[in-house]
Structure 1
Amino acid sequence: MTPGSTREATEPKKPKPTPSPADLMRRRRRNSLWLVVGMLCLALLTVALGIYTATRTESLSVTGYTSGIILAFGSFLGVLGLCLEENRKQLLVAAIVFLSFGIVASFFCVVVDGVFILLSLDMRPLRAGRCQYYTSGNSYIYENYYASVPCQGLLESCSMKVKSGTCYCCDLYDCANGGYLNNHYEFVGVRSCQDVLSLYTLIWVLTLLNLAAFVLGILTTAVLGSIKDMKTHAISPDGSGQVPALHPRDSTVLSPTAPLLPDGAGSSLYPNASLYFAPAAGTEASQSSLPDTPRLDPHPPPFAPFYNLLPYKAQGFSA
């Protein structure tokens, strides 16, 4: 071993300095800010993907973007509350309220998009290539009119009416009841049947995003709730985190019109008794020898006027 390595091994490790309460508070606010910004980005992504998915077809009512709007607004209020000093508590309370509504909305979006839509879609005919796509061309006049197309199901064949730009699956269509029992045998407004497969994937992604927003929203609400009641003005600028305690006597404010009560010692009615006592007869030595036993003025004023607050000045008559 070299002498340098021996010296490093023998030297004790210096303890790490304990962070002050001000540093801990600053670090906690910074981590909370990153969490709220992440919640905001997730909410905006949910809104963008939800609106894009909802406009892909007219047959499915996707509601996943509604929770993202509420969560985005609540996250924006949370960012303002953490960055601004004024009205911080009010902004954080408003952010917690909107985030709470967004959490409930994301739960309902997970149920609606993940249960009522995804579980009712059967993608097997689409993957097997047994679905057909009908379009009447680029003319707008035929978009709102239905056309009769032949439909060959698994058991029977019939004709069905579809709009232009529709992907329909005859295997999922009930010819006897006119498709009444199955509402997702056609997808209106798509450009091809492959768009239905991509739409199915987008709905799954949107459901997972709402589930992540549900969990992250609960965590963000809990963090903001713990920060909104913390008082940052109680921390001293030097980071010590301690406020010097004031003595009861130091905190007393003298008012010229307020009656003066006796102090803790009970020796005098006035805390500044030297203002109301006349100087003792004699030389200055007598005053310096007895500083704590002044002679009482026979007629003290009932209240302290403003001029009595000035330093004492000996008054006398000049011959």
Structure 2
Amino acid sequence: MQEATERDKPKPIPSRADLMKTRRKRALWLVVGMLCLALLTVALGIYTSTRTESLSVTGYISGVILAIGSFLGVLGLCLEENRKALLVAAIVFLSFGIVASSFCVVVDGVFILLSLDIRPLRAGRCQYYTSGNGYIYENYYASVPCQGLVESCTMKVRSGTCYCCDLYDCANGGYLDNRYEFVGVRSCQEVLSLYTLIWVITLLNLASFILGILTTAVLGSMKDMKSCAVSPGESSQLHTPHPRHRAVLSPTAPLLPDAAGRSLYPSASLYFTPAAGTEAAQNSLMDTPRFSSHPLPLLRPTTCCPAKRRASLSEEQAALSLLG
């Protein structure tokens, strides 16, 4: 029975300040999530772009812009001063980040991933060349034999390079396909992990594109939000009138004296009855205007009825005609 009564009780309606506080908290969680996603994209993008010189990964560029915009959004939601300016700056950076993330999705997902053929890598038909720890791979080249599917030839590679002869065009010197070698890697197995990382960065940029649009829309609706947080003491002062001003009458009330003939307005006891001896009762008696004991003299009307006035005018005209 108690559970049924508790369920039947109406839920209290949240105030405007509570609603705005809940809304700001949700927006803050969304912006923090956007910031974490952007930082993860930056970290993976920088790591992938430094693993090899043969692939130019651009996924971290959008992450940097989105991270700046998200950080400004967090500041704008947490601070009261300059909130609108910070949120506008966050929206601008997030907008540029959304464009950059779409660009990175196209570059990394189309021009890089679709141009990579990892079938020879998975089949183990690629070779790794290293000249030892005493040589720098940027400055040392070596001619290695390369046996392709049709013909064999020699190719020049740097130290620390994974090359696939099945993807190398011996007749044209590899001019038609430049994804046959990966410079600067430690093994051919690392190329497969780089391929997986590029896919992850592409998916992160796609998620950043969608989440960035949602975050920009939320911050756009929050930039004109005003602070509605009111302390309990201030709310009690706002809703509880001062005892002196409790007897507030309607402006359309008739200006008539009360029973004692002392006030132009009805007695305050008709609306609120202040306690005897309190400051409100004394102030109400002191602030009420008083009438003079001598009434004003009545003024004699200067105009008469219109019919009598016309009769007197006709008599004057008749008298003037007789005299003339």
Q: TM-score, normalised by structure 1?
A: 0.72
Q: 2:156 aligns with which of 154, 161, 175?
A: 161
Equivalent residue number for residue 255 of structure 1: none
Answer yes or no: is 1:18 the counterpart of 2:13.
Answer: yes
Secondary structure, counterpart of 2:290 in structure 1: helix
How does 1:229-244 map onto structure 2 within 5 Å? Answer: 229-233=224-228, 236-237=230-231
Distance 1:185 1:142, change over 3 A: closer
The answer for the alignment partner of 1:288 in structure 2 is 290
User: Are residue 48 (structure 1) and residue 43 (structure 2) matched?
Assistant: yes
- Counting only pairs closer than 5 Å after superposition, residues 1-319 of structure 1 correspond to structure 2 as 5=1, 9=4, 13-141=8-136, 143-233=138-228, 236-237=230-231, 288-290=290-292
Normalized per residue, which structure has more helix? Answer: 2
Identical-residue share of aligned pairs (%): 81
Q: What secondary structure sits across from 2:202 in the alignment?
A: helix
Query: TM-score under structure 2 normalisation?
Result: 0.71
Q: Aligned to 2:55, what secondary structure does the other structure show?
A: coil
Once the 2 structures are TM-superposed, how far is the Cα of residue 42 of structure 1 from its aligned partner? Answer: 0.5
Deviation at 1:145, TM superposition (A): 1.9
Deviation readout 1:86-122 (Å, 9 max, x if unpaired): 0000000000000000000000000000000000000
The total of aligned residue pairs comes to: 243
Which string of whole-angstrom CA distances, capped at 9 and with x for unpartnered residues, describes residues 28-73 of structure 1? 0001000000000000000000000000100000000000000000
Aligned to 2:283: none
**CA–CA distance in 1 between the matches of 2:223 and 2:58?**
32
Structure 2 unaligned spans of 5+: 240-288, 297-324
Partner residue, 2:249: none
CA distance in 1, matches of 2:206, 2:3: 52
Q: Shift of the alpha carbon at 1:146?
A: 1.2
After superposition, give the CA deviation of every residue in 1:249-295 in whole Å (9 maximum; x if it has no partner): xxxxxxxxxxxxxxxxxxxxxxxxxxxxxxxxxxxxxx93249x99x
- State the distance in 2 between where 1:51 and 1:8 align: 57
Q: How far apart are 1:142 and its partner, in Å?
A: 5.8
What does the per-residue CA deviation read over 1:109-164, in whole Å, with 9 as the maximum and x for residues that have no partner? Answer: 00000000000000000000000000000013564121100000000111000000
State the Cα deviation string for residues 5-41 of structure 1 (Å, max 9, x = none): 4x65578710000111100000000010000000000
Tell me, what secondary structure is at the counterpart of 1:148?
A: strand
In structure 1, distance between residues paired with 2:224 and 2:139:
58
Give the secondary-structure state (helix, strand or coil) at the position aligned to 2:153: strand
